[in-house]
């Protein structure tokens, strides 16, 4: 589209500590003002205790160390001794964590703040902070004391923290960065940016997740630098033995999160910032998107083709062109004369409709949204009180200040019409915020910031998050407590509480398929598990092979949506000819078979704070080599995949962690703890199931809920030793699961030389419609003579495909196979 030319690429140049020095030093020797230079903490001279906070001072500056739990300790710095208001958009409101015990000890050279698991050591000589485990192993320590520099232009400080970096340390996290999984040797900045057609290693991108995990000598810890200003991270890039993070404003405030398992670090990061609520079941089906499907006849035709070709699909998206002159919350009646009827017809055919809403509101005195916003002073203003105006799709626009709770409330109500029209989900875009020409808002724009006030320098990185929060809250009310479906492009830490995310405007190249695999793993360990890429690539032209390989990866992306720019060729699963269509269809069908497994992984994310995608490093972090593997990952606890990332690739080396693994397509067993060469014909990809797993499976449906499940298929993969599996089921729509209206089935599989025992425990109040399980045994290494369920013998039957199975009551407790 030619409009794209309107946009100017945001400068992605990174300011270094040194270049910052050059910019803002305005020392005036005539007036007797102190020189602006980096100042370092001195020697702690005293401290005060205030319940679980300890405030140390060097006579002028203060450092607060607060014990949040046995594993989480927060450090704050106040250069002049007074801390800023303790407010964060990232930390969840109902934070309910506490240390079991803690104490402060003073030795000749240090203060030691101890919990049952962590020692925070404060060096008396120079105020350096270190974190150790109770055995005295250092996990993370300051290389030099925290430091700062006055900001003469805006007030406040540039704040810095520099840590020592051992030779073997590797780093993960930081959200959507398009770099290799291990961040070591690179410097990053966080400033949410509309980065159309971004490149490998381009930075910053759309999201700000200032959280990283360090792994050294096989042990992991995390640092969450909760600062919404433009922040920087240097992972041993400038100097090989130092890692620094700093900000252009706000407070040096970070959480140390103890491991030693990466999984524990991520779970504890979720304790602070929350998890994703259970999505509606349809949201994890296959979604078809395009910039844009219009007019109505086109949308209907796409829907018709899906059903005719029997390719499952749950949602169709309407991009900006459905609106009247890009005015949010309106319809272009020429393209969509009767949206309610169209959406109802689509719904009857099993399609949900998701629509785009941007933040830019057209300056138009005859447009009710503009009128309301103007009347109530909901739009952002510049430092000198002028309105913040900028050009986006609708032309000249003003922008709501979503950091004002009243504005969020209002914005939430604006969705009423769309909800009444039957719209099922909302897609928030351009919320970095993006403005044509100038990139984003200038720094002087003022924000309410929950009453704490701030310029755009402070609010920029949370603008998109607060927009989608308001969308989420609004939809939740309007849809009478049905689970909303929202998706956002910009995000800050904690956005998972309100939305899913996608990685923005990628390119249809093999390199971008690979970048997507890195980004989704990284987002997942950074708290944003409900994530996806534009399958097939947003801009540029994929061929059938790239599209199909990307679709295969899409099955194992928590959010599975094909999307593309309007100036590219058609991107429906059938657009590349029958050969590719058949493969795509079979993989979309695989997604639908795996739905109960995927849904269970979402539950484990929601309730147990487990990320959905897990890098191999997370499965076996003690093996140095695994810390560098980045092409394969676990999808939930029991499935491991290694997407094919090259054209014409015939086979691929896949490393399998310890234990046995089943190749999904033919149940061949592979031994873990080593690499295998796996064939990768076009219609397959390396998918492995962990031995000992119970994988639930639904029959293929054209959309979620198309058929009633009259019995649940469980595939039991024999494994020696013991394995746990969870299967989660609920009705898929409301928040009743918060009142325990769900069914969580916990299976333990124990495989012996001559026996296989499966036990089941259930919790929750939900009673499914089905009464029985159909159990398929896979890989049992001995001849089965007898199957006993809770003391009663059952017999094997053959299904339509001539595969043996047996049926058991869903309440069974113990199954013995021998
Ligand atoms: O300036 O709405 O990333 O998914 O199709 C481009 C049109 C605006 C950018 C989004 C893309 C969407 C497009 N949007």
Q: Please indicate, yes or no, if residue 364 is contained in any of the structural domains.
A: no
Q: Please indicate, yes or no, if residue 385 is contained in any of the structural domains.
A: no
Domain span including residue 676: 613-690
| Ligand 1 close to Cβ of residue 429 (< 6 A) | yes
The whole-number pLDDT of residue 677 equals 98
Q: Which among 590, 608, 626 is the end of a domain?
A: 608
Tens-digit pLDDT profile for residues 5-36: 433 333 333 444 444 444 444 444 455 555 57
| Ligand 1 close to Cβ of residue 356 (< 6 A) | yes
Distance of CA 427 from the midpoint of ligand 1 (Å): 10
Tens-digit pLDDT profile for residues 705-730: 999 999 999 999 999 999 999 999 99
Answer yes or no: is pLDDT of 817 > 90.
Answer: yes
Q: Which two tokens stand for residue 469?
A: 């929060």
Q: Please indicate, yes or no, if residue 697 is contained in any of the structural domains.
A: no
| Ligand 1 close to Cβ of residue 319 (< 6 A) | yes
Distance of CA 359 from the midpoint of ligand 1 (Å): 13
| Ligand 1 close to Cβ of residue 504 (< 6 A) | yes
Q: Give, rounded to a whole angstrom, the gap between the first and last alpha carbons of the chain.
A: 65
Q: Please indicate, yes or no, if residue 306 is contained in any of the structural domains.
A: yes
322 shares its domain with 458 = yes
Tens-digit pLDDT profile for residues 423-451: 999 999 999 999 999 999 999 999 999 99
Average pLDDT value for residue range 130-145: 97
Q: Which among 257, 273, 289 is the end of a domain?
A: 273
Distance of CA 320 from the midpoint of ligand 1 (Å): 8
The whole-number pLDDT of residue 378 equals 98
The dihedral built from the CA positions of residue 328, 332, 333 and 337, taken in this order, carries a sign that is: negative
427 shares its domain with 467 = yes
Probe ligand 1: pick from 193, 288, 393, 430, max atoms within 8 Å of CB? 430
Question: Could you tell me the CATH number of the domain that includes residue 796?
Answer: 2.60.40.1180
561 shares its domain with 621 = no
- Closest atom of ligand 1 to CA, residue 563: 4
339 shares its domain with 421 = yes
548 shares its domain with 604 = yes
Which residue bears the tokens 């919320």?
431
Q: Are strands 352-357 and 315-318 parallel, antiparallel or unpaired?
A: parallel
The strand order across the sheet containing 756-763 reads 721-729, 743-751, 756-763, 814-817, 787-789, 792-794
Probe ligand 1: pick from 3, 429, 491, max atoms within 8 Å of CB? 429
Q: Which residues pair with 690 in a beta bridge?
A: 661
Q: Please indicate, yes or no, if residue 478 is contained in any of the structural domains.
A: yes
| Ligand 1 close to Cβ of residue 291 (< 6 A) | yes
The whole-number pLDDT of residue 37 equals 87
Q: Are strands 352-357 and 361-362 parallel, antiparallel or unpaired?
A: unpaired
- Closest atom of ligand 1 to CA, residue 429: 10
Which residue bears the tokens 């086109």?
298
Tens-digit pLDDT profile for residues 84-97: 999 999 999 999 99
Q: How far apart are CA 397 and CA 391, in angstroms?
A: 6
584 shares its domain with 622 = no
| Ligand 1 close to Cβ of residue 64 (< 6 A) | no
Distance of CA 93 to the CA centre of its chain: 19
Which residue bears the tokens 């704070």?
609
427 shares its domain with 513 = yes
> Which of 542, 534, 547 is CA-nearest to residue 505?
534
Question: Could you tell me the CATH number of the domain that includes residue 471?
Answer: 3.20.20.80
Residue nearest (by alpha carbon) to ligand 1 atom 13: 291
Probe ligand 1: pick from 4, 193, 291, 491, max atoms within 8 Å of CB? 291
Answer yes or no: is pLDDT of 351 > 90.
Answer: yes
Average pLDDT value for residue range 602-624: 97
Tens-digit pLDDT profile for residues 274-320: 999 999 999 999 999 999 999 999 999 999 999 999 999 999 999 99
DSSP state of 767: -
Q: Name the pLDDT band for 778 (thresholds 50, 70, 90).
A: very high
Q: How far apart are CA 421 and CA 346, in angstroms?
A: 12
Answer yes or no: is pLDDT of 162 > 90.
Answer: yes
Q: Please indicate, yes or no, if residue 10 is contained in any of the structural domains.
A: no
> Which of 613, 637, 620, 633 is CA-nearest to residue 746?
637
Distance of CA 368 from the midpoint of ligand 1 (Å): 24
Distance of CA 360 from the midpoint of ligand 1 (Å): 13
| Ligand 1 close to Cβ of residue 432 (< 6 A) | no
C-beta neighbour count of 541 within 10 angstroms: 16
Distance of CA 567 from the midpoint of ligand 1 (Å): 12
Q: What does each C-alpha distance from 378 to 372, 441, 459, 466, 576 come to in angstroms?
A: 8, 16, 15, 14, 47
CA angle 250, 251, 254 (to 5 degrees): 130
User: What is the number of structural domains in the chain?
Assistant: 4
Answer yes or no: is pLDDT of 811 > 60.
Answer: yes
- Closest atom of ligand 1 to CA, residue 565: 5
Tens-digit pLDDT profile for residues 169-212: 999 999 999 999 999 999 999 999 999 999 999 999 999 999 99
Q: What does each C-alpha distance from 592 to 17, 351, 705, 734 come to in angstroms?
A: 50, 15, 11, 21
565 shares its domain with 433 = yes
| Ligand 1 close to Cβ of residue 489 (< 6 A) | yes
Distance of CA 302 to the CA centre of its chain: 29
Distance of CA 540 from the midpoint of ligand 1 (Å): 14
Catalytic residues: 429, 432, 505
| Ligand 1 close to Cβ of residue 505 (< 6 A) | yes
Residue nearest (by alpha carbon) to ligand 1 atom 12: 291
200 shares its domain with 105 = yes
Q: Please indicate, yes or no, if residue 98 is contained in any of the structural domains.
A: yes
| Ligand 1 close to Cβ of residue 633 (< 6 A) | no
Q: Are 465 and 450 in contact (CB under 8 A)?
A: no
pTM over 0.85: yes
The whole-number pLDDT of residue 13 equals 38
Q: Which two tokens stand for residue 529?
A: 């598990």
C-beta neighbour count of 735 within 10 angstroms: 13
Q: How far apart are CA 341 and CA 335, in angstroms?
A: 13
Q: Please indicate, yes or no, if residue 369 is contained in any of the structural domains.
A: no
Tens-digit pLDDT profile for residues 650-687: 999 999 999 999 999 999 999 999 999 999 999 999 99
| Ligand 1 close to Cβ of residue 571 (< 6 A) | no
Distance of CA 394 from the midpoint of ligand 1 (Å): 13
600 shares its domain with 718 = no
Probe ligand 1: pick from 319, 357, 433, 565, max atoms within 8 Å of CB? 319
Q: Which among 608, 631, 656 is the end of a domain?
A: 608
82 shares its domain with 212 = yes
Tens-digit pLDDT profile for residues 485-532: 999 999 999 999 999 999 999 999 999 999 999 999 999 999 999 999
545 shares its domain with 429 = yes
Distance of CA 315 from the midpoint of ligand 1 (Å): 18
């Amino acid at each position: 589209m030619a409009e794209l030319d309107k946009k100017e690429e945001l400068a992605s140049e990174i300011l270094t500590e040194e270049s910052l020095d050059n910019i803002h030093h305005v020392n005036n020797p005539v007036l007797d003002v102190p020189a602006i230079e980096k100042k370092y903490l001195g020697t702690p001279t005293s401290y005060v205790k205030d319940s679980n906070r300890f405030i140390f001072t060097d006579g002028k500056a203060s450092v607060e160390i607060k014990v949040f739990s046995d594993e989480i300790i927060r450090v704050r710095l106040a250069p002049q001794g007074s801390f800023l208001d303790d407010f964060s958009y990232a930390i969840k409101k109902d934070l309910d964590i506490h240390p079991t015990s803690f104490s402060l000890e003073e030795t000749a050279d240090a203060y030691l703040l101890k919990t049952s698991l962590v020692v925070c050591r404060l060096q008396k000589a120079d105020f350096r902070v270190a974190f150790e485990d109770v055995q005295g192993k250092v996990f993370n320590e300051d290389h030099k004391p925290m430091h700062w520099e006055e900001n003469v232009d805006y007030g406040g400080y540039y704040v810095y923290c520099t840590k020592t970096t051992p030779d073997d340390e590797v780093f993960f996290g930081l959200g959507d960065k398009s770099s290799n999984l291990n961040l070591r040797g690179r410097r990053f900045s966080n400033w949410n940016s509309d980065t159309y057609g971004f490149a490998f290693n381009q930075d910053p991108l759309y999201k700000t997740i200032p959280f990283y995990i360090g792994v050294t000598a096989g042990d992991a810890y995390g640092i969450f630098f909760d600062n919404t200003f433009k922040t920087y991270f240097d992972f041993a890039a400038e100097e090989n033995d130092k890692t620094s993070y700093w900000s252009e404003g706000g407070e040096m405030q970070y959480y140390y999160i103890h491991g030693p398992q990466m999984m524990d670090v991520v779970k504890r990061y979720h304790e602070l910032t929350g998890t994703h609520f259970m999505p509606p079941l349809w949201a994890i089906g296959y979604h078809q998107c395009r910039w844009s499907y219009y007019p109505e006849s086109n949308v209907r035709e796409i829907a018709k083709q899906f059903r005719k070709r029997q390719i499952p699909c749950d949602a169709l998206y309407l991009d900006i062109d459905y609106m009247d002159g890009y005015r949010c919350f309106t319809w272009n009646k020429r393209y969509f004369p009767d949206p309610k009827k169209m959406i109802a017809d689509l719904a009857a055919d099993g399609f949900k409709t998701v629509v785009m809403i941007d933040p830019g509101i057209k300056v138009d005195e005859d447009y009710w949204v503009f009128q309301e916003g103007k009347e109530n002073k909901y739009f952002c203003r510049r430092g000198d009180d002028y309105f913040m105006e900028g050009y986006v799709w609708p032309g000249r626009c003003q922008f709501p200040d979503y950091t004002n709770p009243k504005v969020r409330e209002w914005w939430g109500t604006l969705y009423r019409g769309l909800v009444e029209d039957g719209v099922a989900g909302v897609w928030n875009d351009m919320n970095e915020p993006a403005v044509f020409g100038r990139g984003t808002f200038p720094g002087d724009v003022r924000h309410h910031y929950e009453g704490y006030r701030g310029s755009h320098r402070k609010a920029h990185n949370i603008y998109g998050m607060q927009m989608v929060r308001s969308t989420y809250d609004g939809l939740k009310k309007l849809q009478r407590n049905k689970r909303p479906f929202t998706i956002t492009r910009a995000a800050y830490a904690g956005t998972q509480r309100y939305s899913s995310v996608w990685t923005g405007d990628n390119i249809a190249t093999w390199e971008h398929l690979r970048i997507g695999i890195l980004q989704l793993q990284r987002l997942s360990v950074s708290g944003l598990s409900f994530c996806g890429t534009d399958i097939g690539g947003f801009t540029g032209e994929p061929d059938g092979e790239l599209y199909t390989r990307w679709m295969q990866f899409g099955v194992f992306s928590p959010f599975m949506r094909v999307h593309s720019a309007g100036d590219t060729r058609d991107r429906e699963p059938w657009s590349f000819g029958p050969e590719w269509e058949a493969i795509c269809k079979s993989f979309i069908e695989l997604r639908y078979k795996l739905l109960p497994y995927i849904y269970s992984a979402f539950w484990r994310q929601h309730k147990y704070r487990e990320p959905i995608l897990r890098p191999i490093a997370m499965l076996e972090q003690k093996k140095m080599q695994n810390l560098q593997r980045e092409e394969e990952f676990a999808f939930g606890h029991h499935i491991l995949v290694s997407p094919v990332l090259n054209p014409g690739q015939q086979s691929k080396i896949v490393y399998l962690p310890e234990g046995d693994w089943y190749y999904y397509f033919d149940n061949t067993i592979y031994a873990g703890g080593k690499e295998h060469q796996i064939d990768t014909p076009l219609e397959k990809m390396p998918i492995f199931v962990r031995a000992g797993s119970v994988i639930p499976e639904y029959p293929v449906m054209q959309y979620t809920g198309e058929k009633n499940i009259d019995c649940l298929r469980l595939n039991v993969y024999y494994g020696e030793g013991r394995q746990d599996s969870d299967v989660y089921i609920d009705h898929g729509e409301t928040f009743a699961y918060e009142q325990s209206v769900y069914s969580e089935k916990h299976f333990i599989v124990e495989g012996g030389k001559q026996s296989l025992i499966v036990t089941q425990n259930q919790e929750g109040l939900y009673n499914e419609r089905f009464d029985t399980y159909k159990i398929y045994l896979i890989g049992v290494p001995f001849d089965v003579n007898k199957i006993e369920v809770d003391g009663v013998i059952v017999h094997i039957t053959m299904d339509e495909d001539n595969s043996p199975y047996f049926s058991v009551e869903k309440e069974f407790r113990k199954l013995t196979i021998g």
